[in-house]
Amino acid sequence: MKLVLFDLDNTLLCGDSDFEWAQFLIERGVLDREVYEARNQEFYDQYKAGTLDIHEFLDFQLKPLSRHLRTQLDVWHKQFMHERILPIINQRARELVARSLGDADLVAIITATNSFVTAPIAREFGVEHLIATEPEQNGGEFTGKVEGTPCFRDGKIVRLDAWLKQRGVDWGDVTESWFYSDSLNDLPLLARVSKPVAVDPDPTLKAHAENNGWPVLSLR
C-alpha cells in the first residue's frame, strides 16, 4: 500500500490557516484586536520556533468557536476561504496533490490546525481524508475544548495510527509512505515514513533534511 501525507500550513498553503483564521476574526471585530492580535502572533512565533505549548494554544484558538453558533461560524468560514485561503493556494501545490491522488492508494492531509478550519481547505484540494485536531462538540456546537489527542508533533503519529486502524490498516501494511512538510514540529512523523520530503522548510528542518539526504522541494 502506498500512503501519501501532506502537512497543510506553509506546505500546501503559502501561509498558516490557524494564524489567518484568527486575523480574519480580528479584522471583522469578532475578536478584540488589542487582546488577540499580539497573542496570535506570539503563538505563531512559538510554533515556528518549536516551543509551542499546544494545549495553551488550543485554549486560545478554540474558545472563540464556542461563543458563536455553528451557522454563523460557517458563514464566516465561507468568507474566510474566499478572502484568506484561496489566495494562498498556488498551482504547484494543486498539481502535486493531484498527482498523488492518481498514484497512491491513500492520500490524507494531516495537520495540527483544527478540523473546522481545515476541512473545507482539504475539500478545495480534492482530498477526501483529513487528520486534524478535533474541536469538541455538543449538539453540533463547539464547546471550546479539544477532543482526544491534538494532531501535533508525536500526536500526529498517534492520530495517524488510529486513522489507519479505523480502516483496517496496520503500519506494516504500508509498503511506501511519503510525508511532505515544512516544519521542524513534524520531525517525528517525517522520521517515520519511508520517503520524507521537506517543502519550503524552516531552517531547522532544512538542515536536518540536508544532513539526512531528504529531498527538499519548493512549491512557491
Which domains can be identified in the chain, with CATH numbers?
Answer: 2-211 (3.40.50.1000)
The pTM of this model reads 0.94
How many other β-carbons are positioned within 10 Å of the β-carbon of residue 176? 14
pLDDT given at position 192 = 97
Q: Residue 35: pLDDT above 90?
A: no
Lowest-confidence pick of 30-44, 79-93, 105-119: 30-44
Residue 141 has pLDDT above 90, yes or no: yes
Residue 169, SS3? coil
pLDDT tens for each residue of 89-98: 999 999 999 9
pLDDT of residue 38: 85
Write out 2-15 in H/E/C secondary structure: EEEEECHHHHHECC
Q: Identify whether 7 is a catalytic site residue.
A: yes
Residue type present at position 198 = A
Q: Give the tens place of pLDDT for each residue, 46-76.
A: 988 889 898 898 888 899 899 999 999 999 9
Question: Catalytic annotation on 9?
Answer: yes
Residue 196 has φ and ψ, to the nearest 5°, of -75, 140
**The three cell numbers locating residue 199:** 517543502
Whether 132 shows a pLDDT value over 90: the answer reads yes
Q: What angle do CA 13, 81, 50 make, to 5 degrees?
A: 40
Catalytic residue among 9, 18, 182, 202: 9
Q: Residue 5 above 90 pLDDT?
A: yes
Q: What is the mean pLDDT of the chain?
A: 95
Give the chain's end-to-end CA distance (angstroms, integer). Answer: 30
Q: Which of 54, 11, 49 is nearest to 150 (CA)?
A: 54
